Structure 1
């Protein structure tokens, strides 16, 4: 191990042509520093060339007036060759030009005047040693960051790709011919542009999933996606949640709070159940959308934000506009792009994919393994209208997995309302046919699908019995079930 590596005290090089001054400086500093004393700039340069191979010298304390040169001239060369060394001038003259030149050209950290005070000198050099340490720490951190930057960049990109695969369009389960295909195509087209989007549809159809897909397919994907249920809070609380407030704005406001608009800056804010807000709140929301700024409660200073707003509702907002319950100007501001998410009963061809996905997620959530559904259970699940849409279907599958004690989920695990659906529908055929729409072919297709669902439900998924009742071969029945997206048993 070298002698340099055993040193514990920071080293300071003192250059002064007066021997008594050298000794005084040594006595003052030697308890806290390893002191090197020389009488000329040439000797100082020789010491630096020898010792800086091990980065021993951290501070140079140099007299300004020396034979043949000046401290500023010498330290200018030190700065060029060893920029990390902390440079200090000690002078008995107060020449302003020397000071300016020393600071600008030689990078002098401190300019001390003679006669110096021991306490002041020692404190100055202790601070200089700390400056040197901080410089080294900063350089090390900068090097670490440069080294880690490619790794961090890859991690961020991987995280973004994972989020996009989890929440982007690729996460939507849809069969060929599904009504969701048109919705996803429109999402893909509008996502890159900062347009406000209004998502409508029944509860449980996946309006928030559509909003997330828009966010993660846009240039804002790396920024926050913030959600708020507007129907769950009264106006005063909703306003403070969205816009934030200053300390003392109202009773209980003991500290500043950053609102959701500010938290979502650069990203997307999803406002669910926007149709439940009052006209008074709608005025405040409209101003934010128009101006891109708002004032937190209790503040007199406006905050500017860059936020894309996506709103959702299960209400008929156009009807609410006609009755005056919802502001017309806000509606058109929100509905630059309008998307309607179809109900689950309108996309039965997606059921096979949904059932498998929900079964897998339920098994993972509950830590149980189930192989699949019985034919009877599949027939009942397919025949049910699912008024609660995907959310109701998810809860039903989760319930079945929780109650299961066999590898296959049977019809006995279904909720009574699901099992009753085929019989209830069968008794109301005339009322059902009155709801058919479209041309003759489209109505006949709807009627055929209804009859097939009823037959499969009555026979608990037994294709042979259902085919015998309908006067079809088993192969013919399977073909018709597949055409209508009802073939979920394979």
Structure 2
């Protein structure tokens, strides 16, 4: 049975733009397209749309104008503006008039669109789950409320520490233990780690394991928003506070009163905004832009960054007093290259999820594919791994995904590590006798070719211009065997 894919609507009066965005999103979502506002409204009336990507500049009607109507008629639809504007006041107007979930500036990157679509459809589903459970609680008889609450607990369980997939001896275990221990204490936590290591997932687990779990959780990427917009996003603003502020906006800190806010990429905020944030953390008070009214809020602040914040303090780029306000406890998430023991469980979990999402059956990976995956360093961490598993699933012809489906650079990196070889550029710069350096490169080429040819030695020999006997001799010379490939037998 094929899983129902989330519906995405792309609106732009430029046919080429619509075509390109639809192509990027089409593999993962059910994409509908419209070349104007009138056509978009008809689609919304007849199709199940979870998120809408809309260009701001359109001849018939602006994106803000259209999405303002969408907000009034279909408030559950998550709205995203695609814009060429770079002036902060223009962006503030777009976000606040139409209740924009996210803005994407041109030129955009395909991964940026995919991440936005994934986040928007996830938010849509969470909103529906929350609304349904709230309604059921209101209507349920007292005897049935316990069952509804039990289901609610299952929804919350999706964000507990068990969702951070790991092996019994994983380095994440100690981090999760500390996070669980501190979750019920109302203190700030700083989460460090490279991009894609799961910092927001850990923050959500802390929130949903705390006494604030029934209250809101919001995450805001501080590094992607200019100061003027970030101040409005967090503190809110009064109508007419600046050009484009046509309506009053309630800031996230006010909306999260009683709950938790994650300030992601906190290391990227400017010195000027650091002062404003410090004042809030010290006083617990917010003042919307353009207002003289001060309001006290009770919000737990979690922070995350890929930067070494202590080094930023020593370099004078981050305020020391703000740093200590954010770091009652610091948790550092290791990159995937330091979690090789987790890769099997994590890769299988991703495959199960993606298989259900895309409606394509897959059972698992071959031993050789897992060997490559465990040997590769994954500089992009979980996001890169998820993209790779998605690619393998889409290209697979059977229920078990083999190493031949892996991207060349993954096979290259895995072979280099396992054969103790080096990438070509590194070998050129390396020291040592010419003969040794050439042999390292030759071993790497042999390993890559065999994996790509699925260890068909006749085909590999033909590709390399060798006889089968000659290839066998080289494999024996370098100790290359399929059973010992990538450092482990499976």
For the aligned pair, the TM-score class normalised by the smaller chain equals 0.5 to 0.7
Deviation of the 1:321 alpha carbon = 0.4
2:158 pairs with 1:158: no
Q: Deviation string for 1:59-106 (max 9, x for gaps)?
A: xxxxxxxxxxxxxxxxxxxxxxxxxxxxxxxxxxxxxxxxxxxxxxxx
CA gap 1:250/1:398 in 2 versus in 1, 3 angstroms: same
Indicate conservation of the 8 Å contact 1:168/1:214, yes or no. yes
2:209 pairs with 1:230: no
Indicate conservation of the 8 Å contact 1:196/1:336, yes or no. yes
CA gap 1:257/1:146 in 2 versus in 1, 3 angstroms: closer
Deviation of the 1:163 alpha carbon = 3.2
Counterparts of 1:163 and 1:309 in 2: how far apart (Å)?
Answer: 23
Deviation of the 1:412 alpha carbon = 2.2
Counterparts of 1:191 and 1:327 in 2: how far apart (Å)?
Answer: 26
Secondary structure of the residue aligned to 1:167 is: coil
CA RMSD of aligned residues (A): 3.2
Deviation of the 1:309 alpha carbon = 0.6
CA gap 1:345/1:153 in 2 versus in 1, 3 angstroms: same
2:422 pairs with 1:422: no
2:219 pairs with 1:212: no
After superposition, residues 254-265 of structure 1 pair within 5 angstroms as 254-265=246-257
After superposition, residues 208-357 of structure 1 pair within 5 angstroms as 208-357=200-349
Deviation of the 1:427 alpha carbon = 2.3
> For 1:195, which of 187, 202, 214 is the aligned residue?
187
Indicate conservation of the 8 Å contact 1:179/1:342, yes or no. yes
Large movers: runs of 4+ above 4 Å: 144-147, 453-462, 465-472
Indicate conservation of the 8 Å contact 1:383/1:454, yes or no. no
Partner of 2:172: 180
Deviation of the 1:151 alpha carbon = 2.9
Q: Deviation string for 1:115-143 (max 9, x for gaps)?
A: xxxxxxxxxxxxxxxxxxxxxxxxxxxxx
After superposition, residues 139-150 of structure 1 pair within 5 angstroms as 148-150=141-143
Partner of 1:113: none
The normalised TM-score by structure 1 is 0.59
Counterparts of 2:292 and 2:372 in 1: how far apart (Å)?
Answer: 60
Partner of 1:444: none
CA gap 1:220/1:454 in 2 versus in 1, 3 angstroms: farther
The normalised TM-score by structure 2 is 0.59
CA gap 1:305/1:455 in 2 versus in 1, 3 angstroms: farther
Q: Deviation string for 1:328-381 (max 9, x for gaps)?
A: 001010011100001111011111101110110110111100122223322211
Q: Which has the larger radius of gyration?
A: 1
Indicate conservation of the 8 Å contact 1:207/1:341, yes or no. yes
Indicate conservation of the 8 Å contact 1:293/1:302, yes or no. yes
CA gap 1:381/1:467 in 2 versus in 1, 3 angstroms: farther
Indicate conservation of the 8 Å contact 2:212/2:259, yes or no. yes
CA gap 1:471/1:459 in 2 versus in 1, 3 angstroms: closer
Question: Can you give the 5+ residue segments of structure 2 that lack an aligned partner in the other structure?
Answer: 1-136, 428-443, 456-471
After superposition, residues 59-98 of structure 1 pair within 5 angstroms as none
Q: Deviation string for 1:136-193 (max 9, x for gaps)?
A: xxxxxxxx9797244345423431x223321101212211221001101101110000
How many pairs are equivalent? 314
Indicate conservation of the 8 Å contact 2:190/2:303, yes or no. yes
Indicate conservation of the 8 Å contact 1:376/1:457, yes or no. no
Counterparts of 1:272 and 1:307 in 2: how far apart (Å)?
Answer: 15
Secondary structure of the residue aligned to 2:302 is: strand
